[in-house]
Chains A and B, each alone.
Chain A
Amino acid sequence: MKSDNSSCNRNNRKILLVGDIGKAFLDVGNITDERYELCANMLDAVNAAANNDFAGIGIVMAGTSAKLSSVLKALRTGCDAKIVLLAQMYEEPIAIQLLGSICNGTNAADDYLICPIHPDRFYESIMTTETRSAGKVGLSMPADTALETKIKQLERLATEDDLTGLKNRRYIWEFSRQIIERAALENKRVTLLAFDIDNFKRYNDLYGHSVGDEVLKQAAVLMQRCCRSHDVVGRIGGDEFAVIFWDDPQASPADAPEERRSPRADHPKEAIFIAKRFVRELENSELTPLAGLGPEGKGVLTISGGLASFPRDGSTIQELFQQADKALLEAKRSGKNRIHLVGKPQSDIADID
């Protein structure tokens, strides 16, 4: 039986890092032998954890989610180290799910961090946090709750748009980069919808900036309502928004047909369906700040957008944004209130069955 962690000096014990650390850390050079032991293989990690007294275990999730619950169960049985999941942005929902699942009377994992992360931040998260006590169900309590809360606040400020609560431009770009990298490896699809609100300046000029802000907020709420829970909606500037549609994170790579990644493959039907639904919702919505307009307030809010897909329209996020922006401009020139698909000139999604 291992000794109780809470009574041990955690600083004298090593941390086990499992998986492809290059995908998790900003500066892999800081991962030193004195502090860490590395395991590329999950089975070796279970073996190492069962035979050593580690202070904590960091698991790089990238591409391992299918077997992770079995691995966590085995780790919980074999040792009492603190387990921190190192998740890519797109893996956050799975990490949260795993944190909430119960394994041997406690949480399957103690915490998760979104990558890429600095090794010192990870080290602190292992060392400054108390381990779970035996049999206690619930998240671990940080030693310095105020500091932890502050860090979480700063993380939110760095990734979210203040006005709408959507993800900000920085998050969208980093998320897109990670998800495209994964899509290339696992034969998955990624689609970008870039859109803006038609004649947005007019709302500000006619009704004031507070009304303009309300329009942005309501457009954000409507878009989120139309999307699937794992799709990511962001405000990337002024009245410009971006939505990243991607394949279900729980689906295994084998589920994706080979033709999906073909450059000739069509845009995913799901993305087109959601975009069409959003346009329809906008038409039917009665925007609160414009309620004073009476019947004229209904359906006045319209958007123009462009939709680009990986890999057919580009292999990087820059290329996808360029293509989607071009399609958006075409949509504006063609009379607004429409979404154009890249590679299908003059084709509004409304015309697609």
Chain B
Amino acid sequence: MTVSKGDSNLSLLVILVGALEDEFVRQTMNLLERLGVEFVLCDNVYSAVGDLAKRESRDVLIIGRIGLLSKEQGRLFHIARVKGYRCCCLVDRDLVCRQKLILKAIESGAYLIEKPAEIEEVLMKLLTGGNVRSSGEKENRRASGFRKDEFRTTKAELDALLEVQSDEKR
């Protein structure tokens, strides 16, 4: 497990799930260091969930490829939602990810990105006043209680993603 101390004024903590050999992980680590965001690198979802328990008072963003984050039928998304944390998943184009898991990610309020570079946009949004806390059970709202526009946006993202995938298959 790699831990990097960032700017102590920022309440945001990133739990990055993946291996150092992964280019996406290395790019994200460089970006987090540049932005001064504290992060913890976890090999897998199990150590990520173990680590989450120590971060009760922090704003946590969990970043990783959707294939990794959705292990164990996407239970991480549920746990993150209950704790009020947010996930950011890289939806690999070459990964035939099951729609059900993408929906679970969306229901938890996760950000879905298509390209590694898009992570910067998400982080900037959160660092410049965006609330990292998901609209999960902290506000006693269920997935069905998401604001319509909030869900519509992510659904549109999903449609776009799935369309890209099906285009590529053709």
Residues of A within 8 A of B (CB): 41-44, 46-47, 49-51, 67, 70-71, 73-75, 77-78
Q: Which residues of chain B are within 8 angstroms of A78 by Cβ–Cβ distance? A: 50-51, 53
B158 at the interface (CB under 8 A from A): no
Q: Which residues of chain A are within 8 angstroms of B46 by Cβ–Cβ distance? A: 42-43, 46, 67, 70-71, 73-74
| Distance to closest chain A CB from B84 (angstroms) | 14
Say whether B45 contacts A43, CB under 8 Å. yes
Bound Cα distance A67, B51 (Å):
18
| Distance to closest chain A CB from B82 (angstroms) | 9
Say whether B43 contacts A43, CB under 8 Å. no
Chain A residue nearest in CB terms to B72: A43
Given contacts A41-B72, A41-B73, A43-B71, are A70 and B47 in contact (CB under 8 A)?
Answer: yes
Say whether A70 contacts B72, CB under 8 Å. no
Contact flags B31-63 to A (C-beta < 8 A → 1, else 0): 000000000000111110111111000000000
Query: When the two chains form the complex, which single residue of A42, A44, A51, A73 contacts B47, counting CB atoms closer than 8 Å?
Result: A73
B76 at the interface (CB under 8 A from A): yes
| Distance to closest chain A CB from B85 (angstroms) | 12
| Distance to closest chain B CB from A239 (angstroms) | 50
Q: Which residues of chain B are within 8 angstroms of A51 by Cβ–Cβ distance? A: 53
Bound Cα distance A82, B50 (Å):
16
B75 at the interface (CB under 8 A from A): yes
Bound Cα distance A41, B47 (Å):
15
Bound Cα distance A297, B47 (Å):
62
Sample of 18 A–B contacts (CB below 8 Å)? A41-B72, A41-B73, A42-B72, A43-B49, A43-B72, A46-B49, A47-B53, A50-B50, A50-B53, A70-B44, A70-B46, A71-B46, A73-B46, A74-B44, A74-B50, A77-B50, A77-B51, A78-B51
Say whether A44 contacts B79, CB under 8 Å. yes
| Distance to closest chain A CB from B25 (angstroms) | 17
Q: Which residues of chain A are within 8 angstroms of B76 by Cβ–Cβ distance? A: 43
Given contacts A43-B45, A70-B43, A70-B44, are A75 and B75 in contact (CB under 8 A)?
Answer: no
Chain A residue nearest in CB terms to B51: A77
Q: Which residues of chain A are within 8 angstroms of B53 by Cβ–Cβ distance? A: 47, 50-51, 78
Bound Cα distance A50, B79 (Å):
12
Q: Which residues of chain B are within 8 angstroms of A46 by Cβ–Cβ distance? A: 46, 49-50
Say whether A74 contacts B72, CB under 8 Å. no
Chain A residue nearest in CB terms to B71: A43
Say whether B50 contacts A75, CB under 8 Å. yes
| Distance to closest chain B CB from A76 (angstroms) | 9
Bound Cα distance A43, B82 (Å):
14
Bound Cα distance A50, B47 (Å):
11
Q: Which residues of chain A are within 8 angstroms of B44 by Cβ–Cβ distance? A: 70, 74
| Distance to closest chain B CB from A39 (angstroms) | 10
Say whether B72 contacts A50, CB under 8 Å. no
Bound Cα distance A46, B42 (Å):
14
Bound Cα distance A75, B46 (Å):
8
Most buried by A among B43, B47, B76: B47
Most buried by A among B46, B54, B73: B46
| Distance to closest chain A CB from B17 (angstroms) | 12
Complex A-B, nearest 8 residue pairs according to Cβ-Cβ distance, in ascending order:
A50-B53, A74-B46, A74-B50, A78-B50, A43-B72, A43-B75, A74-B47, A46-B49
Q: Which residues of chain B are within 8 angstroms of A47 by Cβ–Cβ distance? A: 49, 52-53, 79
Bound Cα distance A3, B102 (Å):
39
| Distance to closest chain B CB from A262 (angstroms) | 27
Q: Which residues of chain A are within 8 angstroms of B52 by Cβ–Cβ distance? A: 47, 50
Chain A residue nearest in CB terms to B75: A43
Bound Cα distance A73, B71 (Å):
17
Bound Cα distance A70, B47 (Å):
7
Say whether A74 contacts B75, CB under 8 Å. no
Bound Cα distance A49, B49 (Å):
10
Q: Which residues of chain B are within 8 angstroms of A73 by Cβ–Cβ distance? A: 46-47
Bound Cα distance A50, B44 (Å):
16
Q: Which residues of chain A are within 8 angstroms of B79 by Cβ–Cβ distance? A: 43-44, 47
Q: Which residues of chain A are within 8 angstroms of B43 by Cβ–Cβ distance? A: 70
Bound Cα distance A74, B53 (Å):
11
Bound Cα distance A74, B75 (Å):
15
Chain B residue nearest in CB terms to A76: B50
Bound Cα distance A44, B43 (Å):
17
Chain A residue nearest in CB terms to B74: A43
Q: Which residues of chain B are within 8 angstroms of A43 by Cβ–Cβ distance? A: 45-46, 49, 71-72, 75-76, 79
Q: Which residues of chain A are within 8 angstroms of B51 by Cβ–Cβ distance? A: 77-78
Query: When the two chains form the complex, which single residue of A44, A49, A71 contacts B75, counting CB atoms closer than 8 Å?
Result: A44
Bound Cα distance A47, B51 (Å):
9
Bound Cα distance A223, B92 (Å):
51
Most buried by B among A67, A70, A74: A74
| Distance to closest chain A CB from B162 (angstroms) | 26
